[in-house]
Amino acid sequence: MVMATGSQSRMEFMSSQENKCGALPPESCWFSLICSAGSFMVMMIGLLRYAQVIHRQQNSLLNMLGLCTGWLCAAGLTIVGHFQVDFVKVLHYVGAGLAFPCSLLFVYVQTVLTYRLAKTQRDFHTVHLRVALSLLALITLVLSGVFFVQESFALQHAAALCEWLFTIIILLFYGSFVFEFRFISMDTLVVLIQKGAALQLSQNDCKLESA
């Protein structure tokens, strides 16, 4: 009886400490800083990948979808980092609801794009790696959502573990871009600048026609 009570007390203490982790300064400051830096890196990777796909083939709706999902993920990550769950729970969950699904959609879009652009054996090995990472990301995200809605402390803890596993898998996926980004040159950046200039010119023409 005493042992059971003591065990329950320790579990409640661990639960309360886990909920408060990273919610107060200076931990919350570091968490916000890391999320902001991560958001910037996600935006840059998405933009470079967008330019690279345009450089290797004509632009497509799928490529634009990859850019949009990457930037939406970055926006969600920024919201998560700056609105702590203990103080602004609704916005924190809005950011998480934006970041996690968009991350999953981003990796699937990029996996399809990798398959479409694959020409060499190394490219197809990268496709296989990304397919495996995408499936693992889907499994961990689904398990995290299923465990999160449960009231059991053990399942809540399992949800947190699945959430971090999902994050690690996504980071590994981003790391796999090293295989393609080593071929980026000034021509790739020129294509991106030309695309932006063409879009700006098209918008100006539409304004002149409407005027």
Q: What is the mean pLDDT of residues 69-76?
A: 96
Tokens of 166: 């999902």
14 versus 143: the higher-pLDDT residue is: 143
Alpha-carbon span 61 to 143, nearest angstrom: 31
Instruction: Determine contact, residues 77/95, Cβ cutoff 8 Å.
Output: yes
pLDDT, tens digit, for every residue of 130-140? 999 999 999 99
pLDDT, tens digit, for every residue of 82-96? 998 888 889 999 999
154 versus 191: the higher-pLDDT residue is: 154
Describe the chain by its helix, strand, coil percentages, rounded to 5.
85, 0, 15
186 versus 144: the higher-pLDDT residue is: 144
Exposed, middle or buried, 135 (CB in 10 Å: 0-12/13-18/19+)? middle
Looking at the chain, the whole-number percentage of residues with pLDDT higher than 70 is 81
- String of b and e for 78-98 (b: at least 16 CB within 10 Å)? bbbbbbbbeeeeeebeebbeb
Amino acid at 141: L
Q: What is the mean pLDDT of residues 193-206?
A: 62
Instruction: Determine contact, residues 173/131, Cβ cutoff 8 Å.
Output: no
197 versus 6: the higher-pLDDT residue is: 197
- From residue 185, alpha-carbon distances to 58, 174, 188 in Å are 17, 19, 5
pTM reported for the whole predicted model = 0.81
Amino acid at 112: V
Q: What is the mean pLDDT of residues 58-75?
A: 92
Alpha-carbon span 102 to 106, nearest angstrom: 6
Provide the mean pLDDT of the chain: 84
pLDDT, tens digit, for every residue of 5-64? 544 444 443 333 344 456 678 888 898 999 999 999 999 999 999 999 988 876 789 999
